């Protein structure tokens, strides 16, 4: 996150003596990115955070590739992903490349017997169904329908769900995820023309400080494998921290759409950026107000990016036969656009209720075996007119 946050108690100066009430020391940890050049936080722990008891052999969770070189448009029916009790087992990667995994998850139960940490990737969780609390070693965040949860790599976390009905759209990014640079001033502050500002970004508000010894399993993801690391002290033992590197939440309902007299291009919907893909939020908004405007998009050749749309809610004006939870993939290399009739249908309409999340990747996406199980293989012909 591009602004400072402090939670709990910290010493007056960093790297100085910080004593517990009994006179012994708290233990400092630097939680930093991009070597020592990126965002970081300094946290203060009841126990040394390095006490590994056992490191078990890793097991692979790498996605299995069904189609390595794809030129077909696809539709995937995301709600056909079968729910599973466990959060990590419920995560199914649908699309992948060397920068990003795009996954769906339908966990039925809160994470109880382990903590989770992704050491390779920032995780962006979009909450489509469900509510609860994200619990991390840097504090907690409540979440509900429409929230993005940005969990920086290295964050130790658990998810508590209020009930069994949960649907998540997950972007796992090996490149750091930031808010768009063009919306920030030289100091990092979000500018007046940004579709959201710092007030919309929710920071951790509650620290859990457990001064406990025992056997604490952190499932650590590294290079496509998960290692069960058994720690001798509770991973949530922070008494305070400050800095810029911490998880945060942003509700898609707080995104203020940018509209115009004629059709605005997808970058106006941009919410997050990396150097390998962008994430956009398509939110309910007033349509273009030029008297001759065509609110539906024009056909476009995304010549050098694959385009993924995750449909959340509302009526999807440019598409026929699209329902919530569906994912469309429009690959680089061929043009795509509104379905037959959608352009004509859009003329004269004044607003849209559509809600969708878009991920545009600069490298091509590979399609996994899990994706093929929920794929509509005929979608790529859905632009044909008449009796072809």
Residues lying near Fe ion in the complex (CB under 5 A) are found at 307
Helix (H, G, I), strand (E, B) or coil at 315: coil
Tracing tokens 């790529």 back to the chain, one arrives at 380
Measured from the CB atom, is 121 or 359 closer to Fe ion?
359
- Residue closest to 318 by CA, chosen among 241, 382, 224: 382
Q: C-beta of 300: minimal distance to Fe ion in Å?
A: 6
Q: C-beta of 135: minimal distance to Fe ion in Å?
A: 37
For 123, counting Cβ atoms within 10 Å of its Cβ (0-12 exposed, 13-18 middle, 19+ buried), the class is buried
Q: Give CA–CA dist 80/67, Å, rounded.
A: 20
User: Who's near 304: CB < 8 A, 6+ residues apart?
Assistant: 332, 362
Measured from the CB atom, is 117 or 330 closer to Fe ion?
330
Q: C-beta of 95: minimal distance to Fe ion in Å?
A: 15
Measured from the CB atom, is 26 or 277 closer to Fe ion?
277
- Residue closest to 336 by CA, chosen among 58, 17, 16, 74: 74
Q: Give CA–CA dist 282/308, Å, rounded.
A: 12
Measured from the CB atom, is 190 or 308 closer to Fe ion?
308
3-state secondary structure 67-80: ECCCCCCEEEEHHH
Q: C-beta of 296: minimal distance to Fe ion in Å?
A: 11
Measured from the CB atom, is 46 or 307 closer to Fe ion?
307
Closest residue to Fe ion, judged by C-beta, is 307
Measured from the CB atom, is 39 or 332 closer to Fe ion?
332
Measured from the CB atom, is 89 or 315 closer to Fe ion?
315
Q: C-beta of 220: minimal distance to Fe ion in Å?
A: 37
Q: C-beta of 238: minimal distance to Fe ion in Å?
A: 43
Q: C-beta of 367: minimal distance to Fe ion in Å?
A: 18
- Residue closest to 102 by CA, chosen among 377, 373, 366: 366
- Residue closest to 152 by CA, chosen among 174, 172, 123: 123
In this structure, how many other beta carbons lie within 10 angstroms of the beta carbon of residue 379? Answer: 20
Q: Give how far Cα 77 sits from Cα of 94, 146, 175, 364, 372, Å.
A: 11, 19, 27, 21, 10
Q: C-beta of 120: minimal distance to Fe ion in Å?
A: 29
Measured from the CB atom, is 99 or 360 closer to Fe ion?
360
3-state secondary structure 35-77: CCCCCEEEEEECCCCCCEEEECCCEECCCCEEECCCCCCEEEE
């Amino acid at each position: 996150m591009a602004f400072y946050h402090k939670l709990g108690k910290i010493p007056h100066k960093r790297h100085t003596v910080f004593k517990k009430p009994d006179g012994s020391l708290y233990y400092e940890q630097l939680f930093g990115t991009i070597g020592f050049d990126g965002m970081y936080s300094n946290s203060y722990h009841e126990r040394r955070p390095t006490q590994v008891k056992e490191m078990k052999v890793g097991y692979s969770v790498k996605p299995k590739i069904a189609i390595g070189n794809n030129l077909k448009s696809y539709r995937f029916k995301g709600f056909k992903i079968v729910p599973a009790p466990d959060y990590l087992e419920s995560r199914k990667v649908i699309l992948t490349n060397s920068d990003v995994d795009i996954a769906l998850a339908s966990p039925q139960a809160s994470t109880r017997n382990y903590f989770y940490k992704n050491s390779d990737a920032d995780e962006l969780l979009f909450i489509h169904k469900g509510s609860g609390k994200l619990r991390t070693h840097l504090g907690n965040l409540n979440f509900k329908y429409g929230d993005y949860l940005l969990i920086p790599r290295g964050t130790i976390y658990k998810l508590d769900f209020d009930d069994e009905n949960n649907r998540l759209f997950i972007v796992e990014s090996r490149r750091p995820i930031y808010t768009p640079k063009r919306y920030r001033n030289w100091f990092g502050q979000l500018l007046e023309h940004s579709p959201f500002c710092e007030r919309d970004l929710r920071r951790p508000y509650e620290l859990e400080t457990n001064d406990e010894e025992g056997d604490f399993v952190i499932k650590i993801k590294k290079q496509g494998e998960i290692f069960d690391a058994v720690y001798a002290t509770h991973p949530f033992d922070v008494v305070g921290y400050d800095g810029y590197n911490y998880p945060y939440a942003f509700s898609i309902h707080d995104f203020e759409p940018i509209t115009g007299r004629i059709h605005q291009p997808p970058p106006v919907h941009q919410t997050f950026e990396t150097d390998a893909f962008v994430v956009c939020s398509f939110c309910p908004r007033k349509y273009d107000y030029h008297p001759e405007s065509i609110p539906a998009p024009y056909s476009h050749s995304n010549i050098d990016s694959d385009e993924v749309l995750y449909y959340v809610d509302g009526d999807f004006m440019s598409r026929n036969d699209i329902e919530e939870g569906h994912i469309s993939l429009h690959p680089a290399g061929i043009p795509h656009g509104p379905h037959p009739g959608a352009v004509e249908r859009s003329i004269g309409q004044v607003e849209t209720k559509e809600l969708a999340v878009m991920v545009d990747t600069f490298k091509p996406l590979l399609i996994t075996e899990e994706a093929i199980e929920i794929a509509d293989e005929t979608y790529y012909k859905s632009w044909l007119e008449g009796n072809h």
